[in-house]
Structure 1
Amino acid sequence: MKKITIFLVLVITTASTYSQRGSFEPMGDIENILPVWEQAKIMEKQLRIRQRTVVPQIMERENVDMWLVSWDEYVLYVSLAKGNEEGLVSNRAEALIFYDKDGEGQIKMIEAEAEQISSIVSKLNPSKIAISEEMKEELGAALKKYSSRFVSSEALRTSFLQIRSDEEMSLFQYVARVAHSVIKEVFSNKVIIPDVTTTDEVNWWIRQRYRDLGLLTSDHPTINVQRSKLERPKYTENDEHFRIDIPPRNGYNTIIRRGDIISCDTGIDYLGLGTDTQQNAYVLKKGETNAPEGLRRAFKNTNRLQEIFADEFVNGRPSNDIVNAAIKKAKAEGLRPEIYSHPIPHFLMRYSLNGGFFSGTRYFAGPEMGGEGGEELEPGGGGPVYNNTVYAMELDAETAVPEWGGQDVRLVLEQTIAFTGDKVVFLGGRQTNFYLIK
């Protein structure tokens, strides 16, 4: 009972600051991760809220009064099926039928076998039926007389999987802070001893910490190092360890030295919500109390790119147009930007009567945002961005650093964000300065 009380207080606290972008101060209570059973019940409650609120919303938006969902639409079906309070799905019908009973947005659901669908559709006589291409092929003969009323269900499918409820937005603040709190531990002398600790040791420390806390993760963490060319001759690692023209990667076990920039790329799955985070630390040289001015300016440049990108989000606007506008504005300000953001992962913990988990239920849904090189994307492409959706805002700006002999530093930040209430919120706050490792 104690853990439940602690969790509810956290949700109320984070919700009160939700509308603000805020400064960065990790506050997740990582010593009070909920037991798995309590997690499952909270996730199921959130799923039911989405079923009750998001389905009518998106059916109205698409002007659809019936939506057919097949078992073959696996993750979507598992998300929409009836379950008990802890996620047990007892019945697996071949199809779920959502319909507007009275034309006033009161959506009902019927579980149906294939042979029942035709009679149900005939009885309800919908004017516009959303259906997948696969289901249309399977039921083509049985529903031939209604074929003129068919529309693609793709927009509904994507929207339900990506749109979150207001309650989940508050939960996401808490989950993001938990993720940030682990990184705060990592980027400290608790974990890193300069000139001793290696990147592989840090990677595995993160993995172990997640396990000890009872947090799930789907990827091995990545620790990346940037080092001044003025410092590299002192050590044995070659330049291949410090390339900035490729994404963060493992495979180079490097000793972390004073004067290095350290970046992490890691995430957790908690309460059905995923995080994907890249943050940065600077290892102080002897006598330093802060990172060199050139590195701090590099950090501010990437922060500025975040702000420019955030300001271009508009409900219903194509993602390519958002990225193009942000890149154009950033270049006009003298930045060297790249944006390669993407939807954030979500996952389900539902299970069947025989005890089997529904596998493959960690998924991404929504438009990609950007690409390599900061080049213009096809206008109008990429898919619309809607309110109450969540993304990994992943981007960087390159900056020449005088203290490093004019060397370019690529400062990558990846931040879990929500677009809600027609604005971008940096969930859990955002990093605006280097962690400093003494």
Structure 2
Amino acid sequence: MKLDIRTVAFFSSLFAVAAAHENQATTKWPTPEYHTLPPLREQAEIQDAWTQERRDNIPKLLTKYGIDAWLVSQREYAEDTAFWSLKWAQEFSSRRRTTLLFLANPSDDTPYSYKWVDNKGTMWAELRDVLEAQNVESIAINNHSLIAFSSGLHAGELEAIREGLGEKWASSLVAEPMLGVEYIGTMPAGRAEWYRRLQSTVWAAISEAFSEKVITPGTTTTDDVRWWLREKLQQMNYTTWFHPDVMIVDETTWESDPIQTDPPRRLIRYGDMLHVDFGLTALGLNTDTQHLAYVLHPGQTEDDVPQGLIEGLKKGNRLQDILISQMKVGRTGNEILKAALEQMHNEGIEGKIYSHPVGDWGHSAGPLFGMFDLQEGVPVIGDLPLLSNTYYSIELMVRHFVPEWNKSLNFPLEEDVMWDGDAAARGDNPWKWAIGRQEKFHLIRTPAEASENIRGDL
């Protein structure tokens, strides 16, 4: 039988989804559970150990990029973006003028880092003396025009630096965007255990939010669930870096960039497919997760979830696999995006990829793999190289036709991955799920005797 290109693509996609389904059937992810944060003093000790590990690596970073010194200076409440990853846990802001200097190759008995807190301008002479004694020729500052993690130096502070340094040293100022990007994007080894705990807490909160404990069809709204998630975090002394998004998925959901619109407040009903976008913040770390749920009709079980929805989720899992397989260290974000989209199209999958680094920030330092409205590549940030020892949010969506509803729907998913150095040393794929990934719908169950007078639109 002669097959045309479309037929080959269809069967390739079908076989890929089936294979993924077969593999996933034996996957056993850890049962998610809530993790209580330690006392504040202990949290500070944990965070400061991570910060010290990162700071100790700065001389190597400077040498890597051929820079003699790194100057990070700011006024109170006008901090450089990099300051938040350089500060100690008990620092809540810079004080007066807070100036940090790091050296690549300090001479014997000379520290590699200096800090001045000054309100009189006397620190400039001391700074110049250090530069002179260390024979510094290049001084990196964070004033790149397009990369946030390397552009945190305020314009007024730059003027103050130039005046304070004088003509000789001001002429040595240079911009090296990868310095800030790599410092912030590189994760200390000790963070891994706590990052998994935070992910477990996220999964536990989503599992509870997307259950009959929180949702009563015909009574609960999407906004109720959003605020429940916020309150849950507050009760546990966590917070979040954005207000959670909870929405009912229909044929119009995610047709435009979701960041441009606030999800409407809607009543949850039987037969609805639900979506959540949720990230918590603790210990200087951030997570980012998107899951899907289905509201069963009274008396229904997992076996009653429409098969079209199940296949849409599995297709999303397949696109996750495709993207991770293309995440090669040293490739640019745009190269990874292009390769993943080509493989996606060759397998007959329709979708979008818009993944990003995560860690110190929800959208952290490193290359982007697409944006919702930039599937041809992301200028500047998409051209950064992928680094090892970092965390990523694998954020994407597929579009899939659901026969039971005679509609095509978008299936957005997001899970965080972490770098596994041991796997990399073995030649295996080093990107591992922080705790796992969603492969089954969260289910909102209702007893068989409950009223069915509230039904979904679909």
TM-score, scaled relative to structure 2: 0.75
Q: Mark the CA change 1:397 to 1:107 in structure 2 (over 3 Å): closer, same or farther.
A: farther
Equivalent of 1:175, from 185, 195, 198? Answer: 198
Contact 1:67 1:153 survives alignment (8 Å): no
d(CA) in 2 for partners of 1:211, 1:102? 45
| CA deviation string 1:80-131 (max 9, x = no partner) | 35x4x75578976642221134589x97112252232222211111354323
- Specify the alignment match of 2:120 in structure 1: none
- Specify the alignment match of 1:125 in structure 2: 135
- 1:304 aligns to 2:318 (yes or no): yes
Equivalent of 1:152, from 166, 175, 181? Answer: 175
d(CA) in 1 for partners of 2:383, 2:71? 25
- Specify the alignment match of 1:289 in structure 2: 302
Contact 1:26 1:178 survives alignment (8 Å): no
- Specify the alignment match of 1:428 in structure 2: 435
Q: Mark the CA change 1:45 to 1:166 in structure 2 (over 3 Å): closer, same or farther.
A: same
Q: How does 1:25-424 map to 2 (within 5 A)?
A: 25-30=30-35, 32-53=36-57, 55-71=58-74, 74-81=80-87, 83=88, 86-87=90-91, 94-101=98-105, 108-112=112-116, 113-133=123-143, 138-140=160-162, 142=165, 144-145=167-168, 150-227=173-250, 243-247=253-257, 250-285=262-297, 286-290=299-303, 291-344=305-358, 346=360, 364-372=364-372, 375-377=375-377, 381-405=382-406, 407-421=407-421, 422=424, 423-424=430-431
Contact 1:386 1:419 survives alignment (8 Å): no
Give 1:182's aligned amino acid: A
Give 2:132's aligned amino acid: S
The Cα shift of 1:369 comes to 2.4
| CA deviation string 1:53-105 (max 9, x = no partner) | 3x134223213232222226523235335x4x75578976642221134589x
Give 2:66's aligned amino acid: N
Q: Mark the CA change 1:93 to 1:221 in structure 2 (over 3 Å): closer, same or farther.
A: closer
Identical aligned pairs, as a percentage? 29
- Specify the alignment match of 1:14 in structure 2: none
Contact 2:257 2:373 survives alignment (8 Å): no
d(CA) in 1 for partners of 2:332, 2:279? 27
- Specify the alignment match of 2:14 in structure 1: none
- Specify the alignment match of 1:351 in structure 2: none
Q: Mark the CA change 1:256 to 1:37 in structure 2 (over 3 Å): closer, same or farther.
A: same
- Specify the alignment match of 1:3 in structure 2: none
The Cα shift of 1:295 comes to 1.1
* Count of aligned pairs: 384
| 3-state SS of 1:75 partner | coil
d(CA) in 1 for partners of 2:324, 2:107? 37
Higher relative contact order (CA 8 A, sep 6+): 1
Q: Mark the CA change 1:396 to 1:64 in structure 2 (over 3 Å): closer, same or farther.
A: same
Give 2:334's aligned amino acid: N
**Which portions of structure 1, spanning 4 or more consecutive aligned residues, are displaced by more than 6 angstroms?**
88-92
- Specify the alignment match of 2:448 in structure 1: none
d(CA) in 2 for partners of 1:363, 1:107? 33
d(CA) in 2 for partners of 1:222, 1:391? 20
Contact 1:23 1:430 survives alignment (8 Å): no
Q: Mark the CA change 1:70 to 1:61 in structure 2 (over 3 Å): closer, same or farther.
A: same
Give 1:131's aligned amino acid: I
Contact 1:223 1:250 survives alignment (8 Å): no
Listed as ranges, the gaps of 5+ residues in structure 1 are 1-21, 228-238, 348-361
The Cα shift of 1:374 comes to 6.8
Listed as ranges, the gaps of 5+ residues in structure 2 are 1-26, 117-122, 144-154, 425-429, 446-458
d(CA) in 1 for partners of 2:270, 2:438? 21
The Cα shift of 1:220 comes to 2.1
Contact 2:393 2:415 survives alignment (8 Å): yes
TM-score, scaled relative to structure 1: 0.78
